[in-house]
C-alpha cells in the first residue's frame, strides 16, 4: 500500500509527524460526513422521484380506464395496426358490432379486415388508408359496409390516423375507431327517398312551385309547371326571375316564416297579382328542410285569375244589389231560419220608424200586428210540411198583405214577398224578402224586379263559379279529359282495391310517335288539335269505368279495372290501330306506341308506372307504332 511520503519520512520530528496525521484524519472524517450527507440527499431524491412515478402511473391508469369507459359508452370499436408486422389488435366491441367473439378477431391481420368489407367498398377503403399513409390526406375517414358473422352487412364509419413513426418519418403504427352508423344511414336513405317522393309529387302538381334559399334568394328547385313558365332558372335569384326586380321583393314573406328562435312559423297564405304577367295567384309559403339540412322557402302558387275575375263580377253584382237595396223605397231584407233579420235596407226607418240597428233586434211578434203574425206563422208551418213531403222549398214562396207594427204601435199595411233560399242539398239557408207600402205599389214595381234579378244573377254566378272551379281542378284544360292529379287520386283507390281483392288491374301508357316533328312542321296549335282529336278517338272506345287521363305533353295513360294484361294488350292493339287508321287533319297519318303493365300486389303507383314506362320505351326502341307488354305479375 502506498502511503503519504510525509508519513514515511523518519527525518521529521515526532510532533510534526503527529500533527500531519491528525490533519489527515480530520480531512478524511470531513469527507466521510460529506459523502453521508450526499447519500442522504440522493436517497431522499430517489424516494421523491419514486413517489412521483407512482402518482404518474396511477394517473395514466386512471386515464386509460376513463378512455376505455368513454369508448365503451360511445359504442366505438377500436383497432391498432402494426405496420411493420401487419398485426391488427381490436377491442371487444369491435368484434361485437359484427357479431364475432373477441377470440375470432384476436389474430386477424389487415387482410382479414379487407375481406370483411363489402366488395363494392373495398377499393375505396384501401385508397383512403393509402392516401393517409402517403401524406396526401390528414386522416383516414370513410364510410363503408362490413360483413357480419351471420352474412349481413352493417354500415361503419372508420376514422384513423398514424400514431407512431420511425426516425426517418416512416409510419410504424396506425390507430382508429369503428362506429356503427347503420341506423343513421337507414334514416338518411329514408329522408332521401322522402325527398325524391316530394319532388315527384311537386312535379305532378299543376300549381307553380319553387324553392329558394331564405338568405341569398337563390332558386334551388322548380317543379315542371314552374319550369314551363320560367325555364330552367335554378341558381338565379327569385326576385329577378319571378318579378323582374333588382332587389328582394318588398312583400317577401321570409320574415313571417320564421319564429324569433329561427324555427318554422307555419304557412303564410295570401293572394297576389304578379306584375310581370298580371295574373292572380293563391300563394302558400312555408319553410321546409332541404337535403343539406338548411331551412328554405317553398312557395306553392295556384293560378286563380279566373276565380278572381268571377269574384269581381260577383262583387260588382252584389254592389249593384246593395246600391239598389240601399236606395230603394221598398224595404229589402234577409231573414234566417230562426226568424231573425240578418239584413234590412235603410228604408225600414221611413216605413215603420225604427232604425236599421233597432229593427235587427226585433222578434216577429214585435214586428207584426197580431193577425199578421198568425198569417206568417201559418206560412212557416206550411213550409215545414212542404219540406217534410220532399218538395223543393224554392217552389213555396209567399206573397201577401201583412200589417207591420210601427215604432209608435200603430199598424201599416204592406205587401210582402218572401223567397226561401236553399243550398245545393235543398237545405234552407235564409229567406229573402221585400216589403212594400201598398199605397205606392205601382211606383216601386220596377225596383222590386231589379232587386230580384240581381239576387238570382248572383246565385247563378256563384253556382257557375263553383262548377267551373271543380272542373278546372280535375280535368286537362286542352283535351277536356282527366288530368294527372285526378288520375293519381283514382289510381290510389283502384290499386288499393286490386291489392285487397286480387282483381286484375292494368295500365296503358302511350304517346304520339314523332310528336315533336308535328309541332316543328305544323306548329303547336295544330299539335294541340292532334292531342284533342286523339283523346276524343280513344275516349269513345273505352268502357265507362276505364280512366283516361293526360299524363303530360303528348303522353296519355289509361287505367283498365277488372282487366288482365292479355286482354289489356288486345285493347291497346285496338286503340293503336284506331289511331293509325284514320288521318289527322291536316297532319295526315299519326301513330302511337303503347306500354302495358298489369298491377302487382307488391306494386305502388310509382313502380307500376315505371314498368309501363319501360314497356313504352321498349315499343319506341322496337320501331314505334306497336304495343309492348311489361313484365308479367307472379302467378
Q: Which residues of 498-522 are buried (b: 16+ CB within 10 A; e: fewer)?
A: bbeeeebbbbbbbbbbebeebbeeb
**Residue 558 confidence class, pLDDT cut points 50, 70, 90:** very high
Q: Look at residue 634 and tell me if it is in a domain.
A: no
Regarding whether 504 and 560 lie in a shared domain, the answer is yes
DSSP codes joined into one string, 364-388: HHHHB-HHHHHHHHHHHHHHHHHHH
Regarding whether 150 and 43 lie in a shared domain, the answer is no
Q: Is pLDDT at 35 greater than 90 in this prediction?
A: no
Q: What percent of the chain has pLDDT over 70?
A: 85
Domain range holding 61? 5-70
At residue 396, φ and ψ (nearest 5 deg) are: -130, 65
Q: Look at residue 473 and tell me if it is in a domain.
A: no
For position 537, what pLDDT does the model report?
94
d(CA 572, CA 564): 12
Q: Is pLDDT at 149 greater than 80 in this prediction?
A: yes
d(CA 402, CA 397): 15
* CB-CB contact of 451 with 325 (8 Å): yes
Q: Look at residue 479 and tell me if it is in a domain.
A: no
d(CA 505, CA 614): 18
| 543-550: long-range pairs with CB below 8 Å, 24+ | 547/482, 547/487, 547/490, 547/491, 547/494, 548/481, 548/482, 549/476, 549/481, 549/482, 549/483, 549/484, 549/486, 549/487, 550/476, 550/478, 550/479, 550/481, 550/482, 550/483, 550/484
Regarding whether 144 and 55 lie in a shared domain, the answer is no
For position 90, what pLDDT does the model report?
83
pLDDT, averaged across the chain: 83
Count: domains in the chain: 5
More confident residue, 468 or 551: 551
Supply 126's cell numbers.
384501401
CATH assignment at residue 336: 3.30.450.20
Regarding whether 617 and 533 lie in a shared domain, the answer is yes
Regarding whether 432 and 348 lie in a shared domain, the answer is yes
At residue 120, φ and ψ (nearest 5 deg) are: -75, -20
For position 70, what pLDDT does the model report?
46
Supply 258's cell numbers.
320564421
Regarding whether 330 and 433 lie in a shared domain, the answer is yes
Q: Is 626 helix (H, G, I), strand (E, B) or coil?
A: coil
Q: Is 318 helix (H, G, I), strand (E, B) or coil?
A: helix
For position 1, what pLDDT does the model report?
45
For position 240, what pLDDT does the model report?
86
Q: Is pLDDT at 429 greater than 90 in this prediction?
A: no
**Domain boundary pick from 424, 446, 468:** 446
* CB-CB contact of 450 with 324 (8 Å): yes
More confident residue, 321 or 194: 194
d(CA 129, CA 141): 8
Lowest mean pLDDT among 433-447, 474-488, 575-589: 433-447
Strand partners, 400: 416
For position 424, what pLDDT does the model report?
79
* CB-CB contact of 81 with 174 (8 Å): yes
More confident residue, 400 or 442: 400
Regarding whether 333 and 282 lie in a shared domain, the answer is no
Tell me what the mean pLDDT of segment 69-94 comes to: 76
**Domain boundary pick from 180, 210, 241:** 180
Q: Look at residue 514 and tell me if it is in a domain.
A: yes
**Domain boundary pick from 303, 335, 370:** 303
For position 107, what pLDDT does the model report?
53
Q: Is pLDDT at 269 greater than 90 in this prediction?
A: no
Tell me what the mean pLDDT of segment 234-240 comes to: 87
Lowest mean pLDDT among 48-57, 68-77, 172-181, 191-200: 68-77
631 Cβ contact partners less than 8 Å away, ≥ 6 residues apart = 597, 611
Regarding whether 494 and 590 lie in a shared domain, the answer is yes
Q: In what order do the strands lie in the sheet with 592-598?
A: 547-552, 555-561, 505-512, 592-598, 627-629
DSSP state of 256: G
Regarding whether 18 and 153 lie in a shared domain, the answer is no
Report, in angstroms and rounded to the nearest whole number, the Rg of the chain calculated over CA atoms: 47
**For residue 437, how many other CB atoms are within 10 A of its CB?**
19
Supply 428's cell numbers.
234552407
Residue 133 gets the label, from left (phi > 0), alpha (psi -120 to 50) or beta, of alpha
Count of residues making up the chain: 635
Q: Using alpha carbons only, give the angle 112, 117, 123 rounded to the nearest 5 degrees.
A: 105
Q: Look at residue 468 and tell me if it is in a domain.
A: no
Q: Look at residue 471 and tell me if it is in a domain.
A: no
Regarding whether 226 and 132 lie in a shared domain, the answer is no
Q: Look at residue 598 and tell me if it is in a domain.
A: yes
Q: Is pLDDT at 73 greater than 60 in this prediction?
A: no
DSSP codes joined into one string, 184-217: HHHHHHHHHHHHHHHHHHHHH-SSEEEEEETTT-
Tell me what the mean pLDDT of segment 269-281 comes to: 82
**For residue 436, how many other CB atoms are within 10 A of its CB?**
23
More confident residue, 189 or 432: 432
Q: Look at residue 310 and tell me if it is in a domain.
A: no
Regarding whether 431 and 333 lie in a shared domain, the answer is yes
Q: Is pLDDT at 559 greater than 80 in this prediction?
A: yes
DSSP state of 85: T
Residue-wise pLDDT for 483-533, tens only, equals 999 999 999 999 999 989 989 999 999 999 999 999 999 999 999 999 999
d(CA 470, CA 462): 12
For position 543, what pLDDT does the model report?
94
Regarding whether 275 and 176 lie in a shared domain, the answer is no
Residue-wise pLDDT for 361-412, tens only, equals 999 999 999 999 999 999 988 888 888 888 888 778 889 898 999 999 998 8
Burial class (CB in 10 A: 0-12, 13-18, 19+), 2: exposed
For position 62, what pLDDT does the model report?
54
Supply 279's cell numbers.
295574373
For position 587, what pLDDT does the model report?
93
**Residue 635 confidence class, pLDDT cut points 50, 70, 90:** very low
Supply 362's cell numbers.
226585433
Strand partners, 435: 331, 416
Tell me what the mean pLDDT of segment 183-212 comes to: 79
Pairing of strands 268-273, 171-180: unpaired
* CB-CB contact of 139 with 161 (8 Å): yes
Cα→Cα distances 419→24, 65, 341, Å: 147, 91, 14
* CB-CB contact of 594 with 580 (8 Å): no
537 Cβ contact partners less than 8 Å away, ≥ 6 residues apart = 578, 579, 582
* CB-CB contact of 272 with 281 (8 Å): yes
d(CA 114, CA 104): 15
CATH assignment at residue 515: 3.30.70.270
| 340-343: long-range pairs with CB below 8 Å, 24+ | 342/430
Q: How far apart are the first and last CA of the chain?
A: 117
| C-alpha closest to that of 536 among 526, 551, 548 | 548
More confident residue, 605 or 329: 605
Tell me what the mean pLDDT of segment 217-245 comes to: 86
Amino acid at each position: 500500500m502506498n502511503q503519504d511520503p510525509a508519513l514515511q519520512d523518519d527525518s521529521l520530528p515526532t510532533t510534526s509527524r503527529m500533527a500531519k496525521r491528525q490533519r489527515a484524519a480530520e480531512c478524511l472524517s470531513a469527507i466521510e460526513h460529506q459523502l453521508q450527507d450526499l447519500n442522504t440527499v440522493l436517497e431522499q431524491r430517489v424516494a421523491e422521484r419514486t413517489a412521483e412515478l407512482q402518482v404518474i402511473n396511477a394517473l395514466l391508469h386512471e386515464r386509460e380506464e376513463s378512455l376505455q369507459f368513454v369508448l365503451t359508452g360511445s359504442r366505438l370499436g377500436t383497432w391498432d395496426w402494426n405496420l411493420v408486422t401487419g398485426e391488427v389488435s381490436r377491442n371487444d366491441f369491435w368484434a361485437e358490432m359484427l357479431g364475432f367473439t373477441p377470440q375470432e378477431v384476436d389474430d386477424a391481420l389487415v387482410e382479414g379486415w379487407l375481406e370483411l368489407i363489402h366488395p363494392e367498398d373495398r377499393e375505396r377503403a384501401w385508397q383512403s388508408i393509402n392516401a393517409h399513409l402517403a401524406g396526401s390526406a390528414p386522416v383516414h375517414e370513410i364510410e363503408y359496409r362490413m360483413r357480419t358473422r351471420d352474412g349481413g352487412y352493417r354500415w361503419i364509419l372508420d376514422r384513423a390516423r398514424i400514431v407512431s413513426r420511425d426516425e426517418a418519418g416512416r409510419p410504424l403504427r396506425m390507430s382508429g375507431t369503428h362506429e356503427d352508423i347503420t341506423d343513421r344511414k337507414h334514416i338518411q336513405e329514408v329522408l332521401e327517398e322522402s325527398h325524391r317522393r316530394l319532388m315527384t309529387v311537386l312535379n305532378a302538381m299543376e300549381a307553380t312551385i319553387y324553392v329558394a334559399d331564405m338568405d341569398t334568394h337563390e332558386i334551388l328547385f322548380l317543379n315542371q309547371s314552374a319550369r314551363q313558365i320560367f325555364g330552367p332558372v335554378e341558381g338565379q335569384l327569385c326576385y329577378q326571375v319571378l318579378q323582374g326586380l333588382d332587389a328582394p321583393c318588398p312583400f317577401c314573406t321570409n320574415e313571417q316564416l320564421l319564429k324569433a328562435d329561427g324555427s318554422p312559423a307555419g304557412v303564410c297564405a295570401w293572394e297576389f297579382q304578379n306584375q310581370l304577367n298580371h295574373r292572380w295567384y293563391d300563394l302558400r309559403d312555408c319553410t321546409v328542410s332541404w337535403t343539406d339540412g338548411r331551412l328554405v322557402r317553398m312557395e306553392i302558387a295556384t293560378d286563380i285569375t279566373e276565380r278572381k275575375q268571377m269574384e269581381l263580377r260577383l262583387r260588382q253584382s252584389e254592389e249593384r244589389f246593395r246600391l239598389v237595396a240601399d236606395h230603394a223605397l221598398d224595404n229589402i231584407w234577409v231573414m234566417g231560419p230562426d226568424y231573425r233579420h240578418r239584413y234590412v235596407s235603410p228604408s225600414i226607418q221611413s216605413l215603420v220608424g225604427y232604425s236599421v240597428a233597432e229593427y235587427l233586434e226585433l222578434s216577429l211578434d214585435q214586428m207584426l200586428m197580431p193577425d199578421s203574425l198568425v198569417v206568417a206563422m201559418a206560412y212557416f208551418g206550411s213550409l215545414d210540411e212542404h219540406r217534410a213531403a220532399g218538395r223543393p222549398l224554392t217552389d213555396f214562396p209567399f206573397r201577401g198583405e201583412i200589417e207591420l207594427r210601427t215604432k209608435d204601435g200603430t199598424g201599416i199595411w204592406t205587401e210582402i214577398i218572401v223567397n226561401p233560399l236553399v243550398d245545393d242539398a235543398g237545405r234552407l239557408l235564409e229567406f229573402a224578402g221585400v216589403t212594400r207600402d201598398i199605397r205606392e205599389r205601382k211606383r216601386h214595381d220596377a225596383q222590386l224586379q231589379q232587386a230580384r234579378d240581381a239576387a238570382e244573377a248572383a246565385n247563378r254566378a256563384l253556382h257557375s263559379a263553383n262548377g267551373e272551379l271543380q272542373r278546372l281542378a280535375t280535368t286537362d284544360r286542352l283535351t277536356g279529359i282527366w288530368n294527372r292529379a285526378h288520375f293519381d287520386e283514382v289510381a290510389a283507390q283502384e290499386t288499393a282495391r286490386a291489392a285487397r281483392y286480387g282483381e286484375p288491374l292494368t295500365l296503358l301508357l302511350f304517346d304520339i310517335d314523332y310528336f315533336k316533328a308535328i309541332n316543328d312542321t305544323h306548329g303547336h296549335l295544330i299539335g294541340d288539335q292532334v292531342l284533342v282529336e286523339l283523346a276524343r278517338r280513344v275516349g269513345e272506345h273505352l268502357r265507362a269505368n276505364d280512366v283516361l287521363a293526360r299524363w303530360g305533353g303528348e303522353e296519355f295513360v289509361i287505367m283498365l279495372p277488372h282487366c288482365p294484361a292479355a286482354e289489356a294488350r288486345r285493347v291497346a292493339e285496338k286503340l293503336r290501330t284506331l289511331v293509325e287508321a284514320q288521318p289527322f287533319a291536316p297532319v295526315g297519318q299519326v301513330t302511337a306506341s303503347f306500354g302495358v303493365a298489369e298491377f302487382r300486389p307488391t306494386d305502388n303507383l310509382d313502380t307500376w308506372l315505371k314498368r309501363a314506362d319501360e314497356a313504352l320505351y321498349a315499343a319506341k326502341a322496337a320501331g314505334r307504332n306497336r304495343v309492348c307488354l311489361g313484365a308479367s305479375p307472379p302467378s
